[in-house]
Amino acid sequence: MKRFENKVAIVTGASRGIGRGILLAFAREGAHVVSVDIGDQTETGEMAAALGARFNAYTEDFGKLNQAAAAALVQRILADTGRIDALVNNAGIIRRAPIVDHPEEDWNALLQINLSAPFFLTQAVAKWWLTTGRDLSEPNDRLKVVNIASMLSFQGGIFVPGYTAAKSGIAGITKAFANELAKERMNFNAVAPGYIATENTRPIREDESRNASILARIPEGRWGEPADIAEAILFLASNAADYMNGTIMNVDGGWLAR
C-alpha cells in the first residue's frame, strides 16, 4: 500500500518548481492531491493524472487571502474531497532591494503572501480539524501541516529584508501552532530548503562566478533538486514523524552547517 493511499494532500504554489515536485511526490504515493495557486495548474494536473492520482485545482490570489477567504477555500476543498490529511504551505514570492530602499509595497506583499496567507490557511484547516475533522476512534488519524521555511529563517540575508522577516515568521508560527495544538493530534513542522535547481534559480546557476561561490559553500557540492525537498515533506507528513512537532528541518546540503 502506498504511503498516502486514501489521504488528501493540499499543496499551495504547485503550478511549478518545488511546489509541483511536492504535489507529484504525494501523487506517486497514492494521495488525492489538491493544488492551490494563482498560476495555470493545467500541466500539474496532467502530470498528476498520469500518475493515476485524483486531482483538484483551486485558483487563489494569496496577495488578497484573508481569514474569511481562507475559511471559504477550505470549505470548498472539503466539499470536493471530503477531508484534509496534509497541508503544505509552499506558495511564496521574493523581492530584492537594498534594505534602505526596500519598497513599502514589496514589504507588504511579502508579509501577506509568505506569512499571513499560510497563517490564515493553517488556522482554517486546524479549526475544521478541531470541530469536525478528526476521528478520535482512529489512533493514527492525524492532521499534518508542513510549512516551507528558508535558510533565511536562520540568517539575515542581503537585499531581502521582507523575505527574511516572513520566513523567520514562518518558523515562529510553526512552533506556535505546535505549542497550542500538538495535543490535538496535529503536527506542525517546516522544511528549510537550501539552494534548489528550479526555473527561479536558473539565472543564478547560469552566472558562472555566482554559481561557483554558492557551490563552494555547500558541503554536498551540488544544488538540491525539488525531489530532495519533496522527500522531506513526505516524511514529515507521514506517521513516521508523529512525534515531531515544531521542528524546522534543514534540507540544504549542509549550507547552514558551514
Could you read off the pLDDT of 30-43 as tens digits, one per residue?
999 999 999 999 99
pTM for this model (two decimals): 0.95
Could you read off the pLDDT of 190-221 as tens digits, one per residue?
999 999 998 878 888 999 999 999 999 999 99
- pLDDT > 70 in the chain, percent: 100
What span, in angstroms and rounded, lies between the C-alpha atoms of 49 and 45? 6
Which 3 state secondary structure label does DSSP give 250?
Answer: strand
Kindly state the helix (H) or strand (E) to which residue 144 belongs, with its residue range. strand 143-148
Could you read off the pLDDT of 100-147 as tens digits, one per residue?
999 999 999 999 999 999 999 999 999 999 999 877 778 788 999 999
pLDDT at 136: 73
CATH 3.40.50.720 correct for 8-196+225-253: yes
pLDDT at 220: 95
pLDDT at 138: 80
Q: What share of the chain is helix, strand, coil (3-state, %, to 5)?
A: 50, 15, 35
Q: Alpha helices of the chain — where are they, by DSSP H?
A: 17-28, 42-50, 67-81, 104-111, 117-128, 161-181, 202-206, 208-217, 226-237
Active-site residue, 163 included: yes
Q: Where are the domains of the chain?
A: 8-196+225-253
**Is 64 in contact with 108 (CB distance < 8 Å)?**
no
CA nearest neighbour of 226 among 257, 248, 193: 193
Write down the mean pLDDT value for the chain: 96
What span, in angstroms and rounded, lies between the C-alpha atoms of 128 and 3? 23
pLDDT at 44: 98
Q: Which of 58, 163, 195, 243 is catalytic?
A: 163
